[in-house]
Amino acid sequence: MMILLQTYAKLMLPEIYQDEAEAVKMHLQLFECVAGYGLGGSTVALFGRVGGGIYTKAADVGADLAGKVCEGLEEDSPKNPGTIADNVGDNVGDIAGMGADLFGSLAEASCAALVVSGASIDLLKTPDAMFFPMFVTAIGIISSFIAVFLVKIGEVNKDNVETKLKMQLVWSSLIMTALLVPATYILPETSVIPFGGNIYSVSRWELFGCVAIGLWTGLLIGFVTEYYTSNRYSPVRELVASTRMGAAPNIILGLALGYESTVVPILALAVTIYYAFSCAGMYGVALAAIGMLGCLPIALAIDGYGPIADNAGGISEMSYIHESVRERTDILDAAGNTTAAIGKGFAIGSACLVSLALFGAYVARVEEATGSGNFVINVLEPITFSGLIVGSMIPYAFSALTMAAVGKAANLMIAEIKS
């Protein structure tokens, strides 16, 4: 897609640069077509993430409960048909679903950045500068490939496998930051980006800062997620200790830790949004979202480690392999569950930035269509406030439906296994 857009820009657009208004109009039309690409990716991701997630959790719950309610039937016993569904569900929900989810976020962030940048004449006059978001993504792929080989430095054993996985994110972030420095020179030294009735005059290094702060904010969110999910740190150890007092304290403390774990990521996202928006408006926010998703290949790789180790444990149990094999896969599965949580932190954090960037792209398009540079949404208007309340209710309704679907599917699976 990037090659086609660049070819179009270099061959067709120089002729219309004499008419700046016509240049902006043609670019916005072009990027509107690209926005459909992101919308399609997100639509498919919804089915992959939700459909796959319901299946994998229903299969997991069904296989586990069947081993408890059916006498003589263990969780990973070859006699338990739910085990096969559980292994398949790990691939469908935790790998395919997560991949679709993060791909949709990346596509939407790229489309939002392109739409907002279409209003900047300075970026239009440098065709390569228009596609700076695409260059960032390409650099992230290269950095991730290099980081994969760096993880082989030193010995890998059951005690440091979690650290090795986590270090891949650190290495890829460092390499990507270094490679972004020469790539930044494709941008004009100073760019003027209009948005929301304001004019943002931003240097190329401020745009570099938008990408870098998004990249390192994503890494920070990953580390915070690891702190609250790894068995090496006090939150999980305290949660384990609470089980000695019964189920109620365990559930209460678990919910409390879950709520507490959101504080630092939210504050980090707030700082990122403030800096990026102050520098370049919504274009800066979109670049921060792309930066956070820059190391997407590594994030997906370590996210898939947990399901792979889980499947390996189930297969070893079903194949009557020596118990020592299952003990090792359980250790790897524990490390994989932590790294999988890191991937989910990336998905949620990037979704926050992407939603804001998409809203900015919508505002930019409305301003261009209406010819007004001061388009605002007033939450004090009755219809807007009513929509705000209804919109805040939708996640709860959506969550309730999906949770109910998991419970119903698990009950049906248990009945099928017992029969």
Tell whether the model's pLDDT for residue 368 goes beyond 70.
no
Confidence band for 67, pLDDT divided at 50, 70 and 90:
low
Rounded to whole angstroms, how far apart are CA atoms 46 and 100? 8
89 neighbors 60 (Cβ within 8 angstroms): yes
Return the higher-pLDDT residue of 383 and 4: 383
Rounded to whole angstroms, how far apart are CA atoms 306 and 343? 11
> C-alpha distances in angstroms, 179 versus 142, 171, 174, 192?
9, 12, 9, 25
pLDDT of amino acid 351:
75
CB neighbourhood size of 130 (10 A): 25
When pLDDT is averaged across residues 196-217 and rounded to a whole number, the result is 82
pTM over 0.75: yes
R_g of the chain computed on alpha carbons: 24
Tell whether the model's pLDDT for residue 156 goes beyond 70.
no
When pLDDT is averaged across residues 304-331 and rounded to a whole number, the result is 77
pLDDT of amino acid 127:
67
Beta bridge partners of 191: 202
Describe the crossing of helices 296-318 and 323-370 by its angle, rounded to 10 degrees. 150
pLDDT tens for each residue of 252-263: 888 888 888 888
Q: What percent of the chain has pLDDT over 70?
A: 82
pLDDT of amino acid 3:
47
Describe the crossing of helices 52-69 and 82-89 by its angle, rounded to 10 degrees. 150
pLDDT of amino acid 115:
74
Beta bridge partners of 192: 201
Confidence band for 327, pLDDT divided at 50, 70 and 90:
confident
- H helices, E strands: number in the chain: 16, 2
Going by C-alpha positions, the residue among 150, 85, 165 that lies closest to residue 332 is 165
pLDDT of amino acid 40:
76
Tell whether the model's pLDDT for residue 12 goes beyond 70.
no
Confidence band for 25, pLDDT divided at 50, 70 and 90:
low
pLDDT tens for each residue of 207-233: 888 888 888 888 888 888 888 887 778
Confidence band for 11, pLDDT divided at 50, 70 and 90:
very low
pLDDT tens for each residue of 230-288: 777 888 888 888 888 878 888 888 888 888 888 888 898 889 888 888 887 788 888 88
Q: Nearest 5°: phi and psi at 203?
A: -85, 165
When pLDDT is averaged across residues 349-373 and rounded to a whole number, the result is 71
Rounded to whole angstroms, how far apart are CA atoms 272 and 181? 19
Q: What percent of the chain has pLDDT over 90?
A: 0
Going by C-alpha positions, the residue among 51, 125, 30, 9 that lies closest to residue 402 is 51
CB neighbourhood size of 151 (10 A): 18
Domain boundaries, the chain: 2-418
266-302 in b/e form (b: 16+ CB < 10 A) is: eebbeebbebbbebbbbbbbbbbbbbbbbbbbbbbbb
Rounded to whole angstroms, how far apart are CA atoms 95 and 106? 16
Return the higher-pLDDT residue of 61 and 400: 400
pLDDT tens for each residue of 80-137: 777 777 777 777 777 777 777 777 777 777 777 777 776 667 777 776 777 788 888 8
Beta bridge partners of 47: none
pLDDT tens for each residue of 75-96: 667 777 777 777 777 777 777 7
pLDDT of amino acid 70:
66
The residues, ordered by sequence, that sit 6+ positions from 76 with a Cβ below 8 Å of its Cβ are 63, 83, 313, 314, 317, 318
Joined together, the tokens standing for residue 155 give 């010995």
> C-alpha distances in angstroms, 289 versus 35, 155, 174, 261?
16, 35, 17, 21
